[in-house]
Amino acid sequence: AADRDKEYVGVATLPNQVHRKTVKKGFTFTLLVAGESGLGKSTLINSLFLTDLYKDRKVPNAQERIDQTINIVKHTISIEEKGVKVRLTIIDTPGFGDAVNNAESWKPIEDYIDQQFEQYFRDESGLNRRNIQDNRVHCCLYFISPFGHGLRPLDVACMKALHNKVNIVPVVAKADSLTQAEVDRKKVKIREDIEQFGIHIYQFPECDSDEDEDLQKQDQILKDSIPFAVIGSNVQVESEGRKFRGRVYPWGLVEVENPAHSDFLLLRNMLVRTHMQDLKDVTGETHYENYRAQCIQNMTLMVVQEKKRRCVASKSRGTLLD
């Protein structure tokens, strides 16, 4: 009764207003995939977003792979579910890690990330700031080979070159080629390498102490799963009256979305359901702000140097006149 008699200003409707405006505008998300050829990057992306981005792709032969340079290939798709639209951009990097000499093979990727920051900085400094298109890279899925013991030198060098520019989420590719014990050992070794070499990967935000216990448990499972051991498949398999994305082997079936078989569901839920906005926030508030601060510092330095140059030039002219 007391609640009924109480007068309201109406601020409780603010979340609904924000929700309506955001849904109407739609969401954007840019995901970069990096890793050597043959690790199932394309298949995993198709599995994650239930699409077929690469149906017209021609797989290069050995000679073509040796000769080719690293390309940056951009695919944009629109996904709509229950009235919510997402413009998803996938940045692929064919040719990465395929050369005989892979020194600085990550440079085109680094340059691309910087170019998007530069474009956003220009747009932000311009007159039409209301309609800025955000093409900044929000997340990099870095694919690690399931073979070998931990990170290779190329993995370390590439991740260190990118880690202050983009949110890196490491994944162990083709996890169905390893036993569960091997997956566990590999994860431990990769985490040790990441710490040893000072690589900054994406850090999941800490759960508030008053958060739901199930949410805290899920958050801990996510943190313990890094790097995600993943499987992808473009094929629908039928078994026991069910259809699912999977892989058929002589010894049995692997279900892509079965948590007992891989971390695929954890990765998809993290990317889309729980941490997409945080990945965008960290990109804007940390990586882009660092770039922006550097740009402003460089511009200030140029102005100071120009003033000094003019001052020296005017003094020289004064001396000549005397």
Predicted local confidence at residue 54, as pLDDT: 60
Residue 102 lies in a domain: yes
Q: What is the CATH number of the domain that holds 255?
A: 3.40.50.300
Long-range CB pairs of 110-113, under 8 A, 24+ apart, other chains included: 110/161, 110/162, 110/165, 112/32, 112/72, 112/137, 113/32, 113/137, 113/162, 113/165, 113/166
Asked whether residue 113 is assigned to any structural domain, the reply reads yes
Q: What is the pLDDT of residue 99?
A: 64
40: left (phi over 0), alpha (psi -120 to 50) or beta: left
Residue for token digits 């078994």? 239
Domain extent at residue 166: 28-321
Whole-prediction pTM: 0.83
Q: What is the pLDDT of residue 3?
A: 58
pLDDT of 247 reads: 87
Query: Does 173 fall in a domain?
Result: yes
Q: Is residue 195 part of a domain?
A: yes
With a cut of 70, list the residues of the chain below it in pLDDT.
1-6, 8, 18-19, 21-22, 53-70, 98-101, 209-210, 315-322
Q: What is the pLDDT of residue 63?
A: 52
Residue 98 lies in a domain: yes
Q: Give domain status of residue 7, yes or no.
A: no
What is the per-residue pLDDT for 303? 82
Give me the number of domains the chain comprises: 1
Residue 16 lies in a domain: no
Using alpha carbons, list the distances in angstroms from residue 305 to 142, 204, 310: 41, 42, 9
> Is 238 among the domain residues?
yes
